A and B are shown apart, each in its own frame.
Chain A
Amino acid sequence: MASLTMTETHVTDSRWIARGVERISLSRFLLCLAPWFVLLVIGVYAAGLCLFYGLNQTNMDNRFAFGLWIFLDLGIIALGAGAFFTGFLVYILKRSELKPILNTAVVVGFICYSGAVSILMIDVGQPLRAWFTFWHPNTHSMLTEVTFCISCYLLVLSLEYIPILLRNRQLRKLPSFLIFEHQLHKLVPVLAAVGTLLSFFHQGSLGGLYGVLRGRPFAFRDGIFIWPSTFFLFILSAIASGPSFLMLVTATVEKVTGKRLVPPDLFRRLGLISGVLLAVYIAAKSIDTLIWMDFTSPAMGFAPWLSYMHKPFGTPILFAEIVLFGLIPAFLLTYRRTAAKRGWLLSAAAMACMGILLNRFVLTVQTLALPTLSFDEFLTYTPSWQEVASFAGVIAYGVIVYSLSYRYLPLFPAQKGDETHVSGR
């Protein structure tokens, strides 16, 4: 009985934790989160400096306008695509076997998009005038479409998050909350469809930027009708890396908690989806690179190999993007024998995510570093501590929100299948 009393003394938030699940004591949980809270506070302070004093707190300038923040934005928005793509697969294509990962996909998507919007607000500045983009939209700007779509999709993700939030053990005791959760949950397929449309267009719009970037021959792309090839490559790469990122997040949580959270076969399914899409993306990316080398770049008066003359951005980075973090993970994710082994599967998923991050890095930092005029020089850029701290603050925010969601919300519902075994009589 003494041990029972002791447990009760330590776990003071047990009323908020779902029944039948084991969680560490509140004090240990807070201790684990403490470093992330510290990082978040530093990040908020750095962001405050940027908002108060302006972008002179960063190492960006008129020439180097895409720094760590835009790289982070493009990267996490691509990795967060697992949310809309999983919703699309479950609700529109009726792939119900992916349901066990749906809640975690929504939370990961919410974290990625809210983090991206926060960083964008610091980058754009004047957050109190954020509504200007809606009331005075520049309909000729790609950024306007991106802002509209991301804002709407963040709203959709928030609405998808609400039913998960309302299933908290204490919140569900309020009948009106529970009924609203029930009704909203029934309408989630509508939100999933809207989310798919929005995500499709804003992932594409982010890539579409390179169709108007005529001053940057390394990144400029022609395309089909009004859409440059990067419009489609961004969509493809995002839906290829999203499932891999979900796998990595879930595997990390399984490792940290020591629990099996999803059916073992689910990782293989996600891996197969990710691998096939990655293969398609790499094929399209290779064709796009060849077209750029043979037609687009020469047409603008630039020999393509000149873009790879500047260290450290030589041809190895192209090799890494297409082969090391493209073809190899695509093979490992789809080949039956390697996909059957968890270690290979997760390594391949990590490589796929790194490949997409590398692509976004190339299209932001490398693109701006390369000289474009005869008197230009190769630029180097090192982010200031304020940029790094804001970046780290977003990562900390993600870890904290996910940890709180995992502790208090049903992110991984138990298997509730019909396990009927009729006796032999």
Chain B
Amino acid sequence: MFPGVDGFHWTAGHIIFLGLFFAVAATILTTVASAAWRSARDIREDRAAGLCWKSDFAELPVHDRRCRHELAGRVISRTCDNAFNCGSCGKYAQFAVLPARGDSNPSGLNYPDDRLYSRDHTWVKVEPGGTVSIGLDDFAQHVLGTPDSITLPEIGSEIELNGTAWQMKKHKQKIRVRAPIEGTVIAKGTQQDDWILKIQPRRDVKDPLTTRHLLRGPEVRGWIVREMERLQLQLQPLNTAPTLADGGTLMPNLMDSLPHADWETVLADTFLEA
């Protein structure tokens, strides 16, 4: 039928039918090629971290996606639909002016007010000179205890917001810690330091938009109270009636104390893995 095939000759029917068919086939193939080309471009231009985070965020359970204003008691209930990117949230200004509630003590954990906190349990401290230190918050440290191993990025490497900052291993569980801020790694902490990485931020930290996505003040307290509740529910043995804990503090090195708990789920919720 086609050229090269015996007896072939073009007719109007061939041209219309085959033209339409191959136009459709070309559209499909172009669509796939376009998706592949855009993907390659995103990877080349280091947009992978942001896109992966957006996709991961969409898969997070609803309780992991509560709005900061709900945590602070400014609104009764609100689910974030903007991947915690408060800098581009249209509702941020509307709710930020409302008075906050939830000033309860976060269960004896240490959350200094000079730091800003990310939902995946890292903190950011702005240092003099415009650099920042980042580290694991008290909740995550109590849960993990001492990691079996920790893999830090090389000095001079770039880390992307919500991309991988460093990786840890504990009881065969691989833990990826997301970067709370983007920039260049300028120092790595030692066991004696309370920080893990020092970063030269890519954007000016004096600009409020650079750190707007990080929690502070009453938001932190409301958030940690909920994290404690989640942890208690996840660690209680199966088939037991719900119980109300009254007081108490988080014991250190929880993973060593409860080795048979469903740590995969707990760690996924703690470090916001989809």
Interface presence of B260 (CB below 8 A)? yes
A177 to chain B: closest residue by CB: B39
Per-residue A-contact encoding for B1-40, CB less than 8 Å = 1, 0 else: 1100100000101100110010011011001101110110
Instruction: List the one stretch of A47-55, A183-191, A299-307, A337-345 in contact with chain B.
Output: A183-191
B29 to chain A: closest residue by CB: A155
Q: Does B42 contact A183, Cβ atoms closer than 8 Å?
A: yes
Q: Does A425 contact B98, Cβ atoms closer than 8 Å?
A: yes
Interface presence of B74 (CB below 8 A)? yes
Which of A19, A136, A186, A421 makes the CB contact (< 8 A) with B265?
Answer: A19
Q: Does A423 contact B39, Cβ atoms closer than 8 Å?
A: no
Q: Does B56 contact A172, Cβ atoms closer than 8 Å?
A: yes
Interface presence of A137 (CB below 8 A)? yes
Instruction: List the one stretch of A110-118, A350-358, A395-403, A409-417 in contact with chain B.
Output: A409-417
Shortest CB distance B158–A (Å): 15
Q: Does B27 contact A139, Cβ atoms closer than 8 Å?
A: no
A7-B238, A155-B28, A179-B39 in contact; A18/B59 too (CB < 8 A)?
Answer: yes
Shortest CB distance A312–B (Å): 40
Q: Does B14 contact A139, Cβ atoms closer than 8 Å?
A: yes
Q: Does A137 contact B79, Cβ atoms closer than 8 Å?
A: no
The complex places the Cα of A174 from the Cα of B136 at a distance, in Å, of: 25
Contacts of A420 in B (CB 8 A): 67, 75, 77-78, 91
Per-residue B-contact encoding for A362-380, CB less than 8 Å = 1, 0 else: 0000000000000000000
Q: Does B78 contact A182, Cβ atoms closer than 8 Å?
A: no
Q: Does B261 contact A4, Cβ atoms closer than 8 Å?
A: yes
Q: Does A152 contact B25, Cβ atoms closer than 8 Å?
A: yes
A418-B81, A422-B76 in contact; A175/B48 too (CB < 8 A)?
Answer: yes
Q: Does A421 contact B76, Cβ atoms closer than 8 Å?
A: yes
A414-B62, A419-B79 in contact; A181/B55 too (CB < 8 A)?
Answer: yes
A3-B237, A167-B59 in contact; A135/B21 too (CB < 8 A)?
Answer: no
| Residues 193 to 216 of chain A near chain B (Cβ within 8 Å) | 194, 197-198
The complex places the Cα of A179 from the Cα of B39 at a distance, in Å, of: 6
The complex places the Cα of A3 from the Cα of B51 at a distance, in Å, of: 38
Which of B21, B237, B268, B274 makes the CB contact (< 8 A) with A1?
Answer: B237
Contacts of A269 in B (CB 8 A): none
Interface presence of A156 (CB below 8 A)? yes
B67 to chain A: closest residue by CB: A420
Q: Does B76 contact A5, Cβ atoms closer than 8 Å?
A: no
Interface presence of A96 (CB below 8 A)? no
Shortest CB distance B270–A (Å): 12
Interface presence of B239 (CB below 8 A)? yes
Interface presence of B262 (CB below 8 A)? yes
Shortest CB distance A298–B (Å): 33
Q: Does B5 contact A135, Cβ atoms closer than 8 Å?
A: yes
Interface presence of A15 (CB below 8 A)? yes
Contacts of A148 in B (CB 8 A): 21
Contacts of B194 in A (CB 8 A): none
Shortest CB distance B32–A (Å): 6
Contacts of B59 in A (CB 8 A): 18-19, 167, 172, 410
| Residues 159 to 174 of chain B near chain A (Cβ within 8 Å) | none
Q: Does B38 contact A152, Cβ atoms closer than 8 Å?
A: no
| Further 17 A-B residue pairs, CB within 8 A, beyond A136-B2, A172-B56 | A4-B237, A7-B262, A135-B2, A137-B17, A139-B11, A148-B21, A176-B39, A179-B42, A181-B55, A186-B35, A191-B28, A194-B24, A197-B24, A413-B58, A418-B81, A422-B76, A423-B98
7 smallest A-B Cβ distances: which pairs? A20-B61, A184-B35, A421-B76, A183-B35, A183-B38, A3-B238, A180-B39
- 9 example contacts (A-B, Cβ-Cβ < 8 A) are as follows A1-B258, A4-B260, A19-B273, A172-B55, A182-B55, A183-B42, A418-B81, A420-B77, A423-B76
